[in-house]
Each structure stands twice: as C-alpha cells, then as structure tokens.
Amino acid sequence: MTRRPAVLMATTVLVGLVPATANAEEEGGGPPSPGAPGIGDPYYPLDGNGGYDVEHYDLDLRYDPGTDVLSGTATIEAEATQALSAFNLDFVGLDVSELTVDGRPATYTRAEGELTVTPERPLREEHAFEVVVTYSGVPATIQDPLIGPSGFIHTDDGALVIGEPDVAATWFPANDHPLDAATVDVAIAVPEGLEGISNGALEDAATEDGWTTWAWEAEEPMAPYLVTLAVGEFEVSEYEADGIRFWDAIDLDTTAVPFLPPPEDPAAPPPPAPEPVSVVDQVRAALARQPEIIGFLSGVFGPYPFSTSGGIVDAVPELRFALENQTRPVYAPGFFADPVLADTVVVHELAHQWYGDSVRLAAWQHTWLNEGFATYAEWLWLEQEGVATAQEQFDAIYTGAPPEFWQVVIGDPGPGALFDIAVYFRGAMAVHTLRQVVGDTAFFQIVEEWATSRAGEAVTTDEFTALAEELAGRDLDDLFQAWLFTPERPALG
C-alpha cells in the first residue's frame, strides 16, 4: 500500500483568539488537546482514532471504470469525547481538495495513513460536529501473497470492495476500527447501464446526464470495514422473506474452475487443469437458500439482527475469500464450484451477521469470537443437512491437523496469524468443547444470550468466558486456557 508523505496545507489557525478554549475548561473537559492517532488496538496502533465517536457516514461518490477514479464527498457526523484541538481520520492515498468542520474550512496534514484535522476552533467535549471531506483519486488495491487482492479491487467492468481489517481507509476517511460503528449511507454514481451496490436498502436509482446514482441506506450501525461497494454489470434481484428485505447482485460473467473428483488410478498422469465454467446457476441456487439459512441460524442464535440482507458475487477470478459485509456479504466465485462449499460459505458469512457484525470486536486479537462461531455455525448446518456431525468435524481436525496448527494461540494470535486456519477450526473446536462440557441446554442458552444481550456492542474474549461461566454456573478457566491460550493440542476431557 502506498503511503503519502505529509502535506501541510497553508492556512493559519489563530487558536489563541478563539474563546472556546476557556469554555472547554469551564465545563470540566480539560483544555483542548489532539485526539490520539489510534483507538488503542494493540495489533494495529494507528487503526481508529481517539477523542470522538462517529454516528454516521454519508458517502456521496462517483466511480468511473474508464479511469478507475473514485471522487466525491464523505460527510462524517461525530461527537467529541474530549475537548479536541485536532483529531485524526484514517485515510490512505486519494487527494483531498476541500475539508470543512461544521461548515468552516479546517487545516489538515497527512502522514502514515493518518489525516490530521485542525478545526478553526477547538471542539468542546460532547460537541456534535460534522466533517466534510471532498476527495478523488484511484484507490489502491491491497495485495497479499496468501489471499491475493483485497480492499478496493478494480475489476473488468467496475470495482469491488472486500477485506479486513484495513480496508475502509483506502476509499473513505474513517474512524477505521470496529470499536466505532456508525450508520452509513452510500450514494454511488456510475455510468448509465452499470449497477452500484452497497449495504442496506436501495432507496433510489436515478439517471442524469449519463450517470446513474444508486442510493443505499444502512440503518443499523456497522464497523467501517464492513462497508462494501460493487460497481459493474450485475443481475440485481430484490425480494422479501420473513420480514427481511434482500438484494442480491450477481455478475453473469462469473466463472470458476470446477473441483476435480479424486483420480481413480493415483498412478495415472494428472488430467489437464479444467477450464473455468459459468457458476451463475450455482450462485443463484446458493443465494436462494439465504432465507432458509437465516431461519436456521435464527433458531440457534436468536432473531436476525438486521432489516436487510443479500449477497454479492462479482466475476473476479483472482478473489480467494468471502467477507461478512454487513447485510450484504461478498463471495469469491470459487466457492460456488463445489455444491457443499457453496452453501456452507453462505452459512458462514450469514452467521457472521450475528457474530462479527452485530456483536463486534473491541480489538482484533479477539477474532476467534468471529471466526470460531461462524465456523461452528457451518458445522451445525452440515449436521442438520446430514453431511457430517459437529463431532465428526471436530474429530477429523483433532486427529488430522499438523503440529503447526496447534501452535497458534487463537485467543491472541498476533496480527500475522489473525486469519490463520487455526483461528477458524480451533475456534470452532473450542465452541464444540464448551458444548460438550456444559451440555446442550446451557450451551444454546450461552450462544443465544451472547448474540442478543451484546447485539450492537463491541466485545472481548474475557466477556464471553465470563458469560459462559455465569450461565453454566461453573468455572471454565481450564477449558478456555487450554483451547484459547495454550500453544499445544488440548487433551480430550
């Protein structure tokens, strides 16, 4: 990712002449000082920022696939949590042409993905303020040797935003950490004939001068990394089921390489690699099961936490993962080349709507709370589909995983192992072991209570283990210590 050098804009701020300083002190907030450049995540010290809470992002953008340029304004409504002389937004690349705070020009500097804003007057603690950033540029795509492209991906016919943890700041100025969730409206103007998809509900699509503006509104607060954008030629279907409004967007050019059956004669030369084939029918079939899957998950975890849903599948063959974008997950085409994976990846991303999106992480080290639960949801689904029991999944990994697998301390894996397969599988095994130890009645009470009592909140591993102990009515230290914090294979109880 390219980082821009600091650019100091030449505007003089006469802070000394502004009476707000005295007001801030009188109100007991202390003298104004700069907000911290990070929200306090030990893994990602510069992610998020201190001193304010965002309530709402309004992104009014235009994307031109001909030039790859994204341009427009981000309006950020926030509240100061301290008296602020300056504050940061996370924002990488892209040129800022104008920046105001409460309608007045503000000065700003940029360095290391941090946009530091100095308002004309300091902001009092609890002051609700509005930042408007006008910007444009070609968003940089994140490249990872293991997972390929992520973040803002420029596709054959448009763009696709998918990734975690650091994605939002590559295309809009944000308090880019799940601790600060906010409601989001995205209006995306694209050349007439293309679709622009984002989270939540489609409120409007209007064409003027050859550009169609698609206006999306997400009414439930979300972490910035969960905001998505897909621009291109999509088949968009809108429907309603069980009181939830769905929007699915499928690129009809979506192809994937079919999975080969194992060879009958292992000594024979390997067959030629199969050509990619259209998987559009498989995508339609898997997404058609979303209402049924949400029904199944609601039975286990409690009511679906949002008012809208749906999925996005774009023809990006090099994409190798899926993401739980709030109300509208994005899936790599490759999942749909296999009938079992096609359904289970949808189960996984929809389970994240409860665990990851609604109940979100207070710090990235707790990511097993997202991935372990979403993976366990897959196991529960496969059990009721008659494919394999949760116990069989557990046993296969317990006996089959290589030694390195057991070295990952999933309760604190470090940023390099945040999405290690152990965080997923050992996480699900920890959940399964909890079920074995406390029994089904207490277990299903714990998972539902976790989703419903902490809906919309940021959580930690300690809070989960405390809730489990409370509802099970017993000490579970040994279990969690062995499964979450010990770099070896736990003994079976």
* Per CB under 6 A, 164 contacts ligand ARG: yes
322 touches which of Zn ion, ligand ARG, none (CB within 5 to 8 A by kind)? ligand ARG
- Nearest-CA neighbor of 406 among 329, 351, 480, 484? 484
H helical segments located in 86-174: none
- CA 91/CA 73 separation, integer angstroms: 13
* Per CB under 6 A, 160 contacts ligand ARG: no
DSSP 9: -
Instruction: Spell 118-149 as b/e; 16+ CB within 10 A means b.
Output: bbbbbbbbebebebbbbbbeebbbbeeeeebb
Query: Of 60, 349, 357, 378, which one interacts with ligand ARG (CB under 6 A)?
Result: 349
Query: How many chain residues interact with ligand ARG (CB under 6 A)?
Result: 10
Contact criterion met (CB below 8 Å) for 422 and 485: no
Q: Considering the complex, state which of residue 164 and residue 314 has its C-beta at the smaller distance from Zn ion.
A: 164
- Nearest-CA neighbor of 300 among 232, 374, 239, 367? 374
90 touches which of ligand ARG, Zn ion, none (CB within 5 to 8 A by kind)? none
Omega of the bond leading into 165 within 30 degrees of 0 (cis) = yes
* Min separation Cβ 58 and ligand ARG, Å: 26
CA distances from 435 to 127, 380, 384, 390, 442 (A): 46, 12, 17, 11, 8
- CA 324/CA 424 separation, integer angstroms: 14
Q: Considering the complex, state which of residue 60 and residue 371 has its C-beta at the smaller distance from ligand ARG.
A: 371
293-299-302 Cα angle (round to 5): 105
Ranges within 242-281 binding ligand ARG (CB under 6 A):
none
* Min separation Cβ 351 and Zn ion, Å: 8
Contact criterion met (CB below 8 Å) for 236 and 87: no
442 touches which of Zn ion, ligand ARG, none (CB within 5 to 8 A by kind)? none
Supply φ then ψ for residue 119, to 5 degrees.
Answer: -70, 160
* Per CB under 6 A, 321 contacts ligand ARG: yes
Query: Of 47, 60, 371, 448, which one interacts with Zn ion (CB under 5 A)?
Result: 371
288 touches which of Zn ion, ligand ARG, none (CB within 5 to 8 A by kind)? none
Instruction: Spell 415-431 as b/e; 16+ CB within 10 A means b.
Output: eebbbbebbbbbbbbbb
Query: Of 157, 251, 314, 324, which one interacts with ligand ARG (CB under 6 A)?
Result: 324
Contact criterion met (CB below 8 Å) for 212 and 276: no
Q: Considering the complex, state which of residue 124 and residue 348 has its C-beta at the smaller distance from Zn ion.
A: 348
Whose CB is nearest to ligand ARG?
A: 419
The amino acid occupying position 5 is P
* Per CB under 6 A, 188 contacts ligand ARG: no
* Min separation Cβ 147 and ligand ARG, Å: 5
Ranges within 401-420 binding ligand ARG (CB under 6 A):
419
Name the maximum alpha-carbon separation found in the chain.
Answer: 84
Contact criterion met (CB below 8 Å) for 132 and 74: yes
* Min separation Cβ 419 and ligand ARG, Å: 3
Q: Considering the complex, state which of residue 255 and residue 365 has its C-beta at the smaller distance from Zn ion.
A: 365
Q: Considering the complex, state which of residue 24 and residue 361 has its C-beta at the smaller distance from ligand ARG.
A: 361
- Nearest-CA neighbor of 255 among 276, 232, 285, 284? 276
* Per CB under 6 A, 323 contacts ligand ARG: yes
331 touches which of Zn ion, ligand ARG, none (CB within 5 to 8 A by kind)? none
What would you report as the CA-atom Rg of the chain, rounded to the nearest whole angstrom? Answer: 24
Q: Which residues does residue 95 pair with via DSSP β-bridges, in sequence order?
A: 136
164 touches which of Zn ion, ligand ARG, none (CB within 5 to 8 A by kind)? ligand ARG
**Site string (368-407) toward ligand ARG, x via CB under 6 A:** ---x------------------------------------
323 touches which of Zn ion, ligand ARG, none (CB within 5 to 8 A by kind)? ligand ARG
Residue labelled with tokens 């040129």: 95
Structural tokens at position 362: 């207070």
Q: Considering the complex, state which of residue 343 and residue 371 has its C-beta at the smaller distance from Zn ion.
A: 371
* Per CB under 5 A, 374 contacts Zn ion: yes
Q: Considering the complex, state which of residue 63 and residue 321 has its C-beta at the smaller distance from ligand ARG.
A: 321
Give SS3 for 121.
coil
Q: Considering the complex, state which of residue 123 and residue 323 has its C-beta at the smaller distance from ligand ARG.
A: 323
**Site string (326-365) toward Zn ion, x via CB under 5 A:** ----------------------------------------
Binding site for ligand ARG (CB under 6 A): 147, 164, 321-324, 348-349, 371, 419
Which positions lie near Zn ion, rule CB under 5 A? 371, 374
